[in-house]
Amino acid sequence: MLTGNKLIARNYRGRLLVNYLDPLDSRWCEVADWIIARGRGLLGKSRHIFDDELGEYPRSLPEPLVFQGLVKVFSDNCKFEQIDGYDAVKIRELVFSYASQFKSEGSLSSDPDVRRNIFELVGKQIEVDPELVDSLLYADLESENKLLSIPNFNAQKLIHRYNLSLAQGVLLNSLNIVVRLASSTPPVRLKQLIRWIKFQRLLCAVEKNESGGLTLQIDGPLSLFRTTQKYGFQIALFLPALLLCPDFELDAELQWGKGKKNSKFKITSNDGLVTHYVDSGVYRPPENEMFYILFKKRVEDWDIDDSISELEIPDEFIVPDFVLKRKKDNKVVGVEILWNWNTSFIQKKIKEIAKLKLQKYVLAVADKGNLGKDKLVDIPSFVYFFKSTPLPQEIEKIINLL
């Protein structure tokens, strides 16, 4: 995504305005085509050559910073060589040491035969194929990594990805985000979106609005994690999932610029932003996948699935991560896992579940030690705190008593 001076936006009367590019603008399509063609011609070249060659456009530009942004978006989606597991510093020291010895004996290290002999000696010492030594010499330097592949973009795709990167970069500065979905939003799309929110571990409260649609209140990165941008990137990765919804409005409160001025930013389904996410329907974070595997392995009396069709929930906003079904009597229990939370959020969630009288529901909550567990009062029996990962045996104890 775009940050720094490549994030082109202006604050006008408290509202942040972003100038998206028109994907059909012939001027920028020509520039995008040049970037893609130039990148294709640099396959196999080192990163510093790639950066140099794409650093200057041969003709005049409508806006140089936009060009730099397009190049960055293209570069971020390229695949460069990654060589791990080798000590490049040691390899260089050995090569230079042998080269010095050959030189003292009157041989030139630039001679192909001498160079081959040096690589054979080094390869034997570090137990590496001599043919690889040359490529490993500067493996620790990103600038020497070779370009392996470029994204399957045409000009319009590159411009669409640039526009999305602009919006994502703005959301990194958000304090909070409110998303409004139309009443016509299909239930399957809502469930998909909520599961994506869980996948990104975002704090989100969902409620009906006056128009009969839904309102999602999401904590922005600046409201919680002021020392890291990890949560901000999770927010940015959520946006392409939201674009799968047919009708929405997103309003964000920001702190913008060096002076951290309060600003507002709006995205709607009419802005023309295009997602690159595949509409796969279900997202399961790695930690949840681990719980799923362990549960199937360690619990014999219950089946586990992430389909919610068999769970009777009188509110479509409560979406469990898993549904457990007891084999002997087909008893069904929903399990929801929360990895990120704060005290007010968990209290509201507990009240929602209690209000709906969900007797067959377990809320598994990560206890990170500093999230306000001590401030919670009257913790109900369906709330289960875990340290690093939910334990299937502990979940089984709880669901057998429900």
| Strand-strand pairing, 322-326 and 302-305 | antiparallel
Maximal C-alpha separation, the chain: 88
Residue 308: predicted pLDDT = 54
pLDDT digits (tens, 9 = 90+) for 189-216: 777 787 788 777 788 887 777 877 788 8
Structure confidence at residue 203 (pLDDT): 81
Tokens found for residue 45: 């070249």
CB 120 within 8 A of CB 130: yes
Q: Give Cβ neighbours of residue 152 (< 8 Å, ≥ 6 apart).
A: none
Give the pLDDT of residue 357.
65
Angle at alpha carbon of residue 143, lines to 138 and 147, rounded to 5° = 100
Q: Does an H or E element contain 336, and which? A: strand 332-338
CATH number for the domain running over 172-281: 3.30.70
Distance, CA of 302 to CA of 111 (rounded, Å): 71
- Model confidence at 131: pLDDT above 50: yes
What mean pLDDT value characterizes the chain? 83
Q: What is the pLDDT of residues 63-94, one digit of tens each?
A: 999 999 999 999 999 998 766 667 777 777 78
The segment with the largest mean pLDDT, out of 99-108, 156-165, 246-255, is 156-165
Higher pLDDT, 142 or 148: 148
Radius of gyration of the chain (CA): 27
> Which amino acid, 37?
A
Q: Are 39 and 72 in contact (CB under 8 A)?
A: no
Mean pLDDT of 267-290: 81
Class of domain 286-401: alpha beta
pLDDT of res. 20:
94
The half-sphere exposure of 27 on its side-chain side, counting CA atoms within 13 A, is 10
Percent of the chain with pLDDT over 70: 86
Average the pLDDT over each of 74-88, 133-147, 149-163, 170-184 and give the range with the smallest value: 133-147
pLDDT tens digit sequence for 352-398: 787 766 668 899 988 866 555 666 777 888 899 898 889 999 999 99
Confidence class of residue 177 from pLDDT cuts 50, 70 and 90? very high
Q: Which residues of 214-242 are buried (b: 16+ CB within 10 A; e: fewer)?
A: bbbebbbbbbeeeeeeebbbbbbbbbbbb
What token pair was written down for 259?
Answer: 């002076």
Q: What is the pLDDT of residues 31-44, one digit of tens each?
A: 999 999 999 999 99
pLDDT of residue 316: 52
Cα 236 to Cα 13, 72, 231, 242, distances in angstroms: 25, 17, 9, 10
The 15-18 sheet, strands edge to edge: 9-12, 15-18, 261-268, 248-256, 174-181, 214-219, 204-208
pLDDT at res. 140: 59
- Residues with Cβ within 8 Å of 162's Cβ and at least 6 positions away in sequence, in order, are 2, 21, 66, 69, 70, 73
Roughly how many angstroms between the first and final C-alpha of the chain, as a whole number? Answer: 46
DSSP letter at 20 equals P
pLDDT at 351: 82
Q: What is the share, in percent, of the chain residues with pLDDT greater than 90?
A: 34
Residue by residue, DSSP assigns 27-74 as HHHHHHHHHHHHHHTTTTSBHHHHHHHTS--SS--S-HHHHHHHHHHH
Evaluate whether 361 touches 333 at the Cβ level (below 8 Å).
Answer: yes
**pLDDT tens, 237-278?**
889 989 998 899 999 998 887 777 889 999 999 999 999 987
Question: Would you list the DSSP string of 78-121?
Answer: SEE----S--HHHHHHHHHHHHHHHHHTT--TTSHHHHHHHHHH
- Which of the four pLDDT bands, split at 50, 70 and 90, describes residue 227? very low
Domain ranges of the chain: 88-144, 172-281, 286-401
- The pTM score is 0.67
